[in-house]
């Protein structure tokens, strides 16, 4: 079971030459970029996992963004990474997907060390680009064909899959429209499609449903769930706890560059609502700061806590009244505990 207080992670240590040569699963020596140092960890990395991270460390100036983070993501899981802003989620994902060189640590993708052959690792996964990380002066169809051909696919196959994806993502009508003329939601969908065109074994998605309308979002979720059922691994980073709770089989809560809790959604939630559990783990909640000058204009507004005449006693938020829901609530996806699951705390 995950613990609320994580065990202290071992800090990265400089390695001697002989140590660094004993890196697990070393591939062909294709070292274009500086290799991060890796100190042996108490729990060795798992080559069976879709993603296995050990002692990942990154510092920007004086700020430690990721502090010796370790995590295993099982194959076939729908894995949510959650955490407050600045927790280190995106930095971690960037280091795992070969977009940021770690200062120390190890990241394996399907048993292969990412930083031994970073281009091969990139081709085996599908990273969803952000809307401003695409060539938006191509049409939707061109962008998908481009994304496919960049991954080494033949033109005919890329074109055929691009048409399938456009249909699946309700973008067929906009296939010949320049992406810069798409709405925010359409752009998000084409970004997601471009990450899937080469049928990767692992999909890495950063806030995939942001700005996407509920209908398209539901359709996309179906596609992703189907993909995970066929053995694909989906890793999403999100702030929307209800989405993680509904869709993900596993979740890791990241705070201050470390994993607070990880495991199946049920394990991490520990019998509570996931959002409440999340707030408990990361902390930071405080009573509403009442500003005396922030006044909605209603007559007889109660005197504020900020004024000198009143007591500074914080007001305890009351339980929100829920409205009757005319629609049958959607059942959350069943969490599938994975036998290979490793809860890293």
Partner 1 sequence: MTTALTLVRLRWSLTWATLRKSVWQTVAYVFAMITAVATVIITGMAAWGAGGLDGAGASGPLPADYGHFAVLRALVVILGSLLTVTVALIQLMLLGDGSTMSPRKFALYGLPDRQLQFGLLLAGMSGLPAITGMLSLMVWTLSYRHLGGAAVVTSLVASVLAVFTMMSLSKLLISLATTLVTSRRGKNLFYIVVVLGFIALSQLPNIMVNSGMLEHVAPNDRGQMIAAFASILAWTPFGAAFQLPFDAAAANGLALLGHLAVLTVTWVVCFVVCTWCLKRERLTVGAGAKTVTAKGIGAFRWMPDSVPGAVAARLFTYLKRDPRQGMIFLMPILFVVVFAFQARGESAIVWVSLIWTGWMLSIAESNGLAYDGRGFTMEVISGVRGLQNRIGRVLVYLGIAVVYLLVLGVGIAIFTGDWAHPDRLLLGILLWSIGLAAACCGLGLAEITSCVFMYPVPSPDKPFSSPQGRAMAQGFFPFIYLFGTILLLLPTGIVAIVLTAMDVIGTMFWVLIPIVLFNGAGMLALGTWLGGKLLDARMLSVVSTLDSFASLQH
Binding site residues, partner 1, CB under 8 A: 32-33, 97-101, 118-123, 127, 129-130, 132-139, 141-142, 145-147, 149-152, 154-155, 159, 176-178, 180-181, 194
Please say which residue, 181 or 273, places its beta carbon nearer to partner 1.
Answer: 181
Smallest distance, partner 1 to C-beta of residue 179, A: 10
Smallest distance, partner 1 to C-beta of residue 98, A: 7
Please say which residue, 3 or 167, places its beta carbon nearer to partner 1.
Answer: 167
Q: Tally Cβ neighbours within 10 Å of residue 65.
A: 22
Please say which residue, 176 or 307, places its beta carbon nearer to partner 1.
Answer: 176
SS3 124: helix
Smallest distance, partner 1 to C-beta of residue 283, A: 31
Smallest distance, partner 1 to C-beta of residue 97, A: 7
CA-based nearest residue to 47, from 93, 95, 110, 106: 110
Please say which residue, 110 or 141, places its beta carbon nearer to partner 1.
Answer: 141
How far is residue 76's CA from residue 228's CA, in Å, rounded to a whole number? 5
Strand bridging mode 258-264 / 104-109: unpaired
Please say which residue, 119 or 307, places its beta carbon nearer to partner 1.
Answer: 119
CA-based nearest residue to 95, from 275, 220, 254, 328: 254
Smallest distance, partner 1 to C-beta of residue 281, A: 31
Cβ atoms of 335 and 264 within 8 Å: the answer is: yes
Smallest distance, partner 1 to C-beta of residue 14, A: 22
Residues in the chain: 345
Please say which residue, 27 or 336, places its beta carbon nearer to partner 1.
Answer: 27
CA-based nearest residue to 174, from 138, 213, 215: 138
Cα–Cα distances in angstroms (integers) from residue 214 to residues 193, 211, 220, 234, in the given order: 17, 9, 10, 20
How far is residue 216's CA from residue 244's CA, in Å, rounded to a whole number? 17
Query: What residues does 53 pair with on adjacent strands?
Result: 71, 107
């Amino acid at each position: 079971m995950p613990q609320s207080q994580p065990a202290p992670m071992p800090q990265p240590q400089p390695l001697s030459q002989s140590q660094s040569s004993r890196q697990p699963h070393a591939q062909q020596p294709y070292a274009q970029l500086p290799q991060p140092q890796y100190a042996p960890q108490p729990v060795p990395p798992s080559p069976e996992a879709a993603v296995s991270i050990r002692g990942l460390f990154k510092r920007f100036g004086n700020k430690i963004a990721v502090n010796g983070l370790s995590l295993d993501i099982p194959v076939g899981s729908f894995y949510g990474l959650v955490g407050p802003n600045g927790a280190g989620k995106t930095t971690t994902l960037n280091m795992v997907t070969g977009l940021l060189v770690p200062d120390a640590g190890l990241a394996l993708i399907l048993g292969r060390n990412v930083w031994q052959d970073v281009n091969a690792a990139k081709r085996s996964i599908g990273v969803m680009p952000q809307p401003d990380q695409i060539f938006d002066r191509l049409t939707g169809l061109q962008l998908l064909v481009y994304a496919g051909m960049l991954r080494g696919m033949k033109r005919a196959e890329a074109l055929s899959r691009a048409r399938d994806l456009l249909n699946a993502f309700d973008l067929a009508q906009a296939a010949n429209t320049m992406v810069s003329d798409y709405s925010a939601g359409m752009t998000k969908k084409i970004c997601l499609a471009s990450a899937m065109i080469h049928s990767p074994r692992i999909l890495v998605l950063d806030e995939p449903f942001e700005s996407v309308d509920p209908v398209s979002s539901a359709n996309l979720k179906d596609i992703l769930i189907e993909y995970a059922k066929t053995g694909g691994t989906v890793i999403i980073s999100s702030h929307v706890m209800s989405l993680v709770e509904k869709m993900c089989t596993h979740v890791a809560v990241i705070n201050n560059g470390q994993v607070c809790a990880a495991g199946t959604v049920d394990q991490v939630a520990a019998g509570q609502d996931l959002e409440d559990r999340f707030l408990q783990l990361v902390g930071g909640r405080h009573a509403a700061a009442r500003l005396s000058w922030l006044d909605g204009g209603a007559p007889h507004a109660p005197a504020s806590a900020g004024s000198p005449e009143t007591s500074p006693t914080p007001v305890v938020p009351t339980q929100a009244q829920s409205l009757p829901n005319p629609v049958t609530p959607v059942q959350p996806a069943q969490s599938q505990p994975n036998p290979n699951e490793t809860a890293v705390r």
